[in-house]
Structure 1
Amino acid sequence: MILLVIAFILLLVLGMPVAFTIGISSLLFFVSESLPLQVVIQRMVTSTQSFPLLAVPFFVLAGNLMNETGITRRLIAFSKVLTGHMYGGLAQVSVVLSALMGGISGSATADAAMECRILGPDMEKKGFSRGFTAAILAMGGLVTATIPPSIGLILFGVVGEVSIGKLFLAGIVPGLLTMIFLMIAVYIISRKRNYAAEQDRPSSPKEVVSGIYHNLWALLFPVILIVGIRFGLFTASEAGAFAVVYAFVIGKFVYKELTMPKLAEVLKHSAKDISIVMLIIICSSIFGYAVVYDQLPQTLAGFINTVAAGPYVVLFIILIFLFFIGMIMEATVNVLILVPIFLPIVTEVGFDPVHFGMLFFLVNTMGGMTPPVGVTMYTACSLLGCPIEVYAKEALPFILAVALLVIVLAFLPQIVMFLPNLVFG
């Protein structure tokens, strides 16, 4: 196991793509332990033979389809209707937009990239500092990644054998609370710096109703998915297939903005996105086998129990570790590698897997928005031309806001579990 860890860190530092880093370091473990190499191929193939995993490519394709149908433009207008009168104007709009985009993209990095391209230039023209703009557009991706259907939650459910329907429901309240906590942070900073509102009065009820009407198909999307899964109309994987059909019909026949050239471009981008995710998944399966073979979960559990004085100490040791590991490793990889290690530990000390899933996901995803190697952070900074050190300073209030939320959710699990328990019993 020491050879695996050293090889993994060394290859990561040398800048090798993460999928190959995982695969090569795992292969070295097999060679050093004289394990049959046939197992490597078997594990790689077996990892793809998962019916729930079909949800991932379906939702990736659905998200790319819906992003080409004009829904994003409509959601920006609706977000301005809801929050344009608040201090922080476009910054508040960006946070609400992230919540609305959660039912479409399901990816924090994709959301941050889209908002940096669309809202970033306008925010700088309105007087927002570049660091503040990059920080809130990146951190807003946390909301997108939590609101269902979330790609990360699907992977957590597949790897940890946890109900994806329950995880989807569990993500709604924490997602909305993340939005609220970030909006409060934006309000405090904007009032201090006098960042202007977009409009001088709150929108009238008539304007809000009109906004809902024009965005009804986008707003209904996550609702239909959750209701369909709960009442057995389709599984999580079948929900992904439904999402593709839904996105195509809305784009082609309702909004009439999905042209054949756009469809070809969507398929091209989706094939690239899906291939990257699947390559990481099949390489992580070898890594997972090595971890289990070497009994790392049992060893780590024993170590944590010796230094921990109770269940919450165990939980926060794991969450702090996740936050720091998220700074240097991509969130998807962390789910695939670390869930099999930590989920048995937290369930053994009494935490519900769905509750832990939300805490894991918030902390793990936030790691991608922090230095030194946060993927979402680099995406926002590169698109806006913002230095990392400036971003880090401006992102600190938002990180503290999310950290406070994680503490609240950890000690009040009923906030996370309310909807899953209500719907599934």
Structure 2
Amino acid sequence: MSTLQLWLPAALMLVLLALQTPVTWAMAVAALGFFLLNLGEMPLANFAQQMAEGTESVSLLALPLFVLAGCVMNASGITRRLLHLAEVLVGHATGALAQMCTVLATLLGGLTASANADAAMLSKTIGMQMVQRGYSAPFAAVITSSSAIITALIPPSIGLIVYGFLAEASIGRLFAAGIVPGLLLAAGLMLTTHFVALKRGYKPQRESRAGAREVTQAVIDGLWALSIPVVILAGTRYGIFTTTESGAIVVLYVILVAIFGYRDMNWRDLPEVLAESVRDSASVMMMICAAAAFGFYLSWQQVPQAMSGWLAGTTTNAIAMLLLINLVLIVLGTAIEGSAALIILTPMLLPLVEGAHIDKVHFGIVLITNLTIAGITPPVGGLMYISSQTLKVSMGAYSREIAPYLAVMLGLLVLLSVFPQISLWLPDLIYGTGPVQ
């Protein structure tokens, strides 16, 4: 195998990424280059075959189903009801709109399943309101993109589904494992916002704390939406349905709620909702196909084994290994978009994780948290771009505002790495310590 055949596909992908080529196409073109360089050893048809094989998993059925459920929820007025609930809960706090942003992102975690979708929604709704009411646009972009990270941890998360598929880990346990870290992240963001808002004089949204009757009414109004993670975890825990089947159950559940419960949607709205969910799902599935072909190149060249061997030679301590992996991922995250990094790096890191006897569910939460933090990190953070473009904020202004929030998130990442029970105690409580799918 020549040096050209070994390194040209990887170099080609990095060049395409530097030219701001969409991640899917960068991986696909690089993989195609590998197959063209090796026509003498394998037919070109293998390229298409590897892309197709990337979708051949029952676990991936959950992804488009949860995306569809989120689209139905957004079309049926759930976001508006949850925004009202967030306002009732924290509208009296200093920097109320920013606090509402974090609370709403936490409540929406079980609905959108996508951090990118959350960032777009939050920046278009609360972000624009913040700017109109005197908050700085860079601060609004930072809090909307940072809050969207919570969605990557609260079930059902697309990132957790993809990781579970790649790592052959229990998606049910991953869903349960993401809840506590997600809530801790929300608390950390809200505490940081309190001090920033206090310093800048960002005022409350309402004069006094909401009364018990108003809070109760707001909770009841949003109860259908808030019950979705409970339905998923309870159903999988007691064997009523698998995690994959829970996607279909949730779709049916939210359609019935939207049409007969809230009555803000009718059957005629479903074609447009279906079309939106197909577009959203297709973009993720195409990335998985491209990554499967690129992953074949990495496997063929034994890159995962080489990387694992290099890292394994540095330390034998599981915690030290996990912290070292975090450091590598943080550096890579400044150059590679989070979703692509998840798909490319998971197969490369798994042999190392298993060799160090690190729980795959625990590692999944650390990995997803790390790579989603990369979404708010310049220069290629996807969440950063979504919020910044919506609110017309430059990368320089955004970078100056992100520092305190980034520090809090990196601190949480270290805690999750050093203390695995933060992630594992809830799945162990719900499912026990044995494997579950």
Query: TM-score interval w.r.t. the shorter chain?
Result: over 0.9
Secondary structure of 2:305's aligned partner: helix
The corresponding residue for 2:293 is: 286
**Mapping for residues 36-51 of structure 1, pairs under 5 Å:** 36=42, 37-51=44-58
Alpha-carbon distance between aligned partners in 2 of 1:344 and 1:214, rounded to the nearest angstrom: 47
Is 2:192 the counterpart of 1:185? yes
How far did 1:261 drift? 5.3
Greater displacement, 253-262 / 127-136: 253-262
The corresponding residue for 2:3 is: none
Greater displacement, 7-16 / 108-117: 7-16
The corresponding residue for 1:419 is: 426
The corresponding residue for 2:180 is: 173
Alpha-carbon distance between aligned partners in 2 of 1:127 and 1:143, rounded to the nearest angstrom: 25
**Structure 1 residue aligned with 2:209, among 172, 194, 202?**
202
Secondary structure of 1:203's aligned partner: coil
Query: Are the counterparts in 2 of residues 328 and 372 from structure 1 also a CA contact under 8 Å?
Result: yes
Code of the residue aligned with 2:167 in structure 1: it is G
How far did 1:168 drift? 0.2
Alpha-carbon distance between aligned partners in 2 of 1:8 and 1:122, rounded to the nearest angstrom: 39
Secondary structure of 2:393's aligned partner: coil
Greater displacement, 68-77 / 39-48: 39-48
The corresponding residue for 1:147 is: 154
Is 2:383 the counterpart of 1:376? yes
Secondary structure of 1:333's aligned partner: helix
Alpha-carbon distance between aligned partners in 1 of 2:384 and 2:412, rounded to the nearest angstrom: 20
**Structure 2 residue aligned with 1:17, among 22, 27, 30?**
22
Is 2:92 the counterpart of 1:75? no
**Structure 2 residue aligned with 1:161, among 168, 183, 189?**
168
Code of the residue aligned with 1:15 in structure 2: it is Q
Alpha-carbon distance between aligned partners in 1 of 2:398 and 2:148, rounded to the nearest angstrom: 15
How far did 1:332 drift? 2.1
Alpha-carbon distance between aligned partners in 2 of 1:222 and 1:73, rounded to the nearest angstrom: 19
Alpha-carbon distance between aligned partners in 2 of 1:305 and 1:356, rounded to the nearest angstrom: 16
Alpha-carbon distance between aligned partners in 2 of 1:69 and 1:242, rounded to the nearest angstrom: 17
* Deviations 1:256-301, CA, capped at 9 Å, x for gaps: 1123553232222212111111111111111111212211122111
Alpha-carbon distance between aligned partners in 2 of 1:291 and 1:372, rounded to the nearest angstrom: 25
Code of the residue aligned with 2:307 in structure 1: it is L
Query: Are the counterparts in 1 of residues 312 and 352 from structure 2 also a CA contact under 8 Å?
Result: no
* Deviations 1:48-104, CA, capped at 9 Å, x for gaps: 221111011111111111101101000011011111121110100100000000010
Query: Are the counterparts in 1 of residues 259 and 267 from structure 2 also a CA contact under 8 Å?
Result: no
Give the aligned CA root-mean-square deviation in angstroms: 1.5
How far did 1:231 drift? 1.3
Alpha-carbon distance between aligned partners in 1 of 2:165 and 2:349, rounded to the nearest angstrom: 15
The corresponding residue for 2:255 is: 248
Runs of 4+ more than 6 Å apart: none
Change (3 A) 1:11 1:348: same
Query: Are the counterparts in 2 of residues 228 and 239 from structure 1 also a CA contact under 8 Å?
Result: yes
Query: Are the counterparts in 1 of residues 70 and 112 from structure 2 also a CA contact under 8 Å?
Result: yes
* Deviations 1:371-419, CA, capped at 9 Å, x for gaps: 1111111110111111111111111111111111111111111111001
How far did 1:326 drift? 2.6
Alpha-carbon distance between aligned partners in 2 of 1:347 and 1:88, rounded to the nearest angstrom: 44
Secondary structure of 2:118's aligned partner: helix
Secondary structure of 1:196's aligned partner: coil
- Normalising by structure 2, what TM-score? 0.94
The corresponding residue for 2:139 is: 132
The corresponding residue for 1:2 is: 7
**Mapping for residues 387-402 of structure 1, pairs under 5 Å:** 387-402=394-409
The corresponding residue for 2:323 is: 316
Alpha-carbon distance between aligned partners in 2 of 1:372 and 1:261, rounded to the nearest angstrom: 42
Unmatched 5+ residue regions in structure 2? Answer: 1-5, 433-437
* Deviations 1:89-127, CA, capped at 9 Å, x for gaps: 010010000000001001111111111111122212322
Q: How many residues are matched?
A: 425
Greater displacement, 167-176 / 317-326: 317-326
Alpha-carbon distance between aligned partners in 2 of 1:86 and 1:346, rounded to the nearest angstrom: 43
Alpha-carbon distance between aligned partners in 1 of 2:33 and 2:342, rounded to the nearest angstrom: 22
Code of the residue aligned with 2:210 in structure 1: it is S
The corresponding residue for 2:246 is: 239
Query: Are the counterparts in 1 of residues 28 and 290 from structure 2 also a CA contact under 8 Å?
Result: yes
How far did 1:170 drift? 0.1
Alpha-carbon distance between aligned partners in 1 of 2:370 and 2:383, rounded to the nearest angstrom: 14
- Normalising by structure 1, what TM-score? 0.96
Query: Are the counterparts in 2 of residues 159 and 339 from structure 1 also a CA contact under 8 Å?
Result: yes
